[in-house]
Amino acid sequence: MIEALLPSALDLARFQFAFVVVWHFLFPAFTIGLASYLAVLEGLWLWTGKAVYIDTFRYWLKVFAVAFAMGVVSGLVMSYQFGTNWSVLSDKAGPVIGPLMGYEVLTAFFLEAGFLGVMLFGLDRVGKGLHMLATSLVAAGTFFSAFWILSVNSWMHTPQGHVVTPDGRFLPDDWWAIIFNPSFPYRLAHTVTGAYLTTALIVGAVGAWHLLRERRGAPAVRDAGMDTGTGGAAAAQPFAPGSLVDGGATPDHPAPGSAGADRGEEASERGPNPRAKLMFSMAMWMLLFVAPLQAVLGDLHGTNTYEHQPAKVAAMEGHFETERGAPSIIFGIPDPEQERTRMALEIPNLASLYLTHDWNGEVRGLKDIPREYWPTNIPLVFFAFRVMVGLGLLMIGLGLAGGIMRLRGRLYSAPWLLRAAVAMGPAGLVAVTAGWIVTEAGRQPFTVYGVLRTADSVSPIALPAVATSLAAFVVVYFLVFGAGIWFLFKLFSQTPRPHEGAPPQGQPIRSAGITPAPSISAGAARPGPGTSGAAPQPAE
């Protein structure tokens, strides 16, 4: 009796994969968009020469370094999960999915890792053009990575281009068909767009938060002075002379190195913090156009899923009966035992309209599909889908509100809009996670849809081994990534300033350009630059 209640090694292996992949994807969901945002900011700076772009670039570069590092180390775990916990899948499907992941390493991981160092520390070692190239290559790398890994994932949802041997192994037959399998283009577009929206929401929330803080009578600039001002040394020298970001080269960017100049410039800035405005404005443009686009892409992806994985869509919709003119269930409680969705709040005919593009089209329900094809956790698929769609609608709403307030000239001064943007900061991450839960819980009980069952994919692992490793992952992830995320919030809370964090004096190179100075609380505990031999000194 008790054994029946305890999870099996298979359950724990599944939970472990879910745990490490959800944690992992939080970082790429943010950094895919952030890398492109950084490339755009640097490009705008090179094009216009306006300091606000490079200042904002530097502000987000610090964030990128931390988030990217967490993405790398959590991603390393993913590349071993397939072997440690899903070795039978690896043996059987390795000849198909392995080479695609190999291409991910060769085209994306090396590119990102190789040029990240230049992007972070090469400011004064390469020219502006080469640095721009490095930033662009890192951004391209994040896209290539998404391309290949989503191709693998999509093939497992909609497998084609292979033959199955008598002993159940998948052998490649047509690589083009494998890579561009039916669900891949939709999944790629939907996921990458989701990542861009995630970044836009975070950037917008940070910008809005600083605009709000200013309104509350705490001028950001004065705050910044406190943030960085352990003795003013750091604030006085936010620039390492000779760094690429040689503001001295442009009129907008006076020669670095003098406290007076910086402070003077900050004080002379009228109105709201221009960097916070830039962040908020760019984020609102992004939401205005891309959030509705994402709804269209999501609908196309859903239609494609309906074609290939009708059981998943039926679970998403809570449809048990096959019917013409199927309603869309806004809310309800799907009950697989009784084979109906209880307390359903419905809009008639809507599901037929968006799934079949016909008011009276027939929509398949779960009862028409053999039970062994049903997703194993239908309520999870159902509710996660509503979380994703609900947040997507809120994003569209926020984008529209931003557009209207911009037309009225009150984009930066409507407190309710700014508060809404702050509240929506994590919405992208939540929506992306919910979306992955929909698609992955929805494809159960298969790893390779319709062909290889999850139960037949797992390693011959003993329960204690997988339980122990799961516990270790849980503890370490909360500890390490918890600390990392807490630090990201510290970075978000720092006011974006002019001459933002160029490689500061007295900070080791890795932190160069990352933390302008010891921050508020503990600054005094640490020797400020130039005050102690313990701290490395700048080269002049």
Partner 1 sequence: METAMDLTGWAFWLPLIWAVLIALAVFFYVCMDGFDLGIGILFPFMREKAERDVAVNSVAPVWDGNETWLVLGGGGLLAVFPLAYAVVLPALYMPLIIMLLGLIFRGVAFEMRFRAENETQQLWWDRAFSWGSMVAAFTQGIALGAFVQGIEVRGRAYAGGWWDWLTPFSVLTGVALVVGYGMLGACWLLWKTEGPLHRRAVRLAWPFALGTVAAIALVSAIMPFLQPSFAERWLTFPHLLYALPVPVLVAFLVWRFFHALSRDTGQGGMADAWPFIIALGLFALSYAGLGVSMWPMIVPSAFTIWQAAAPPSSQAFLLVGAAVLIPIILAYTGYVYWLFRGKVTSESGYH
DSSP character string of 316-381:
HHT--S-EESPPEEEEEEEETTTTEEEEEEEETTHHHHHHHSSTT-EE--GGGS-GGGS-S-HHHH
- The one among 77, 261, 293, 430 contacting partner 1 by CB under 8 A: 77
- Residue 368 C-beta: closest distance to partner 1, Å: 37
**Amino acid (one-letter) located at 138:** V
Q: Cβ distance 388 to 297 under 8 Å?
A: no
Distance of alpha carbon 164 from alpha carbon 182, whole angstroms: 19
List the one residue out of 438, 182, 428, 156 whose CA is nearest residue 294.
Answer: 428
Q: Judged by CB under 8 A, which stretch of 317-325, 383-391, 441-449, 514-522 contacts partner 1?
A: 514-522
Q: Which is nearer to partner 1, 332 or 516 (CB)?
A: 516
User: Can you state the angle between helices 128-157 and 87-104, rounded to 10 degrees?
Assistant: 150
Name the residue nearer to partner 1 (CB basis): 88 or 400.
Answer: 88
How far is it, in rounded angstroms, from Cα 314 to Cα 343? 17
Cβ distance to partner 1 smaller for residue 19 or 285: 19
Amino acid identity at 295 = A
**CA distance linking residue 305 with residue 428, whole number of Å:** 22
Region near partner 1 per CB under 8 A, out of 275-283, 286-294, 346-354, 460-468: 460-468
Q: Tell me the C-alpha distance between 482 and 486, whole Å.
A: 6
Q: How far is the CB of 351 from partner 1 (least distance, A)?
A: 40
Figure out which of the listed residues 324, 347, 510, 531 binds partner 1, where binding follows CB under 8 A: 510
Which residue shows structure tokens 């809404």? 420
Residues 339-358 binding partner 1 (CB under 8 A) are none
Name the residue nearer to partner 1 (CB basis): 116 or 235.
Answer: 116
227-286: contacts with partner 1 (CB under 8 A)? 240, 242-243
Tell me which residues in 359-418 interact with partner 1 (CB under 8 A): none
Taking CB under 8 A as the criterion, the residue among 465, 474, 492, 493 binding partner 1 is: 465
Nearer to partner 1 among residue 354 and residue 487 (C-beta)? 487
Residue whose CB is less far from partner 1, 131 or 364: 131
Q: How many residues bind partner 1 (CB under 8 A)?
A: 95
Q: Which of residues 78-97 bind partner 1 (CB under 8 A)?
A: 79-80, 82-84, 87-88, 90-91, 94-97
Q: Which stretch binds partner 1 (CB under 8 A): 203-211, 277-285, 328-336, 470-478?
A: 470-478
Residue 134 C-beta: closest distance to partner 1, Å: 9
Phi, psi of 448 (to 5 degrees): -100, 110
The verdict on 65 binding partner 1 (CB under 8 A) reads yes
Q: Give Cα 391 to chain centroid, integer Å.
A: 15
Closest CB to partner 1 among residues 94, 445: 94
| Alpha carbon distance 162, 97 (integer Å) | 11
SS percent in the chain: helix, strand, coil, step 5: 65, 5, 25
User: Does residue 223 touch partner 1 according to CB under 8 A?
Assistant: no
CB contact at 8 A, 445 and 372: yes
Name residues contacting partner 1, limited to 158-197 (CB under 8 A): 171-173, 175
Q: Which of these segments, 45-53, 124-132, 282-290, 429-437, binds partner 1 (CB under 8 A)? A: 124-132
- Burial of 472 per CB tally in 10 Å (0-12, 13-18, 19+): exposed
511 counts as binding partner 1 under rule CB under 8 A: yes
Of 347 and 476, the one with the shorter C-beta distance to partner 1 is 476
Contact with partner 1 (CB under 8 A) among 4, 5, 407, 522: 522
One of 266, 481, 494, 496 touching partner 1 (CB under 8 A):
481
Q: How far is the CB of 133 from partner 1 (least distance, A)?
A: 11
Cis? peptide before 445, omega within 30° of 0: yes
User: If phi over 0 gives left and psi between -120 and 50 gives alpha, with beta otherwise, what is residue 304?
Assistant: alpha
Q: Which is nearer to partner 1, 215 or 490 (CB)?
A: 490
Site for partner 1 in 97-116 (CB under 8 A): 97-99, 101-107, 109-116
Residues in the chain: 540
By beta-carbon proximity to partner 1, the closer residue of 175 and 289 is: 175
Q: How far is the CB of 260 from partner 1 (least distance, A)?
A: 23
Which alpha helices (DSSP H) does 49-183 contain, by range? 51-84, 87-104, 110-121, 128-157, 175-179
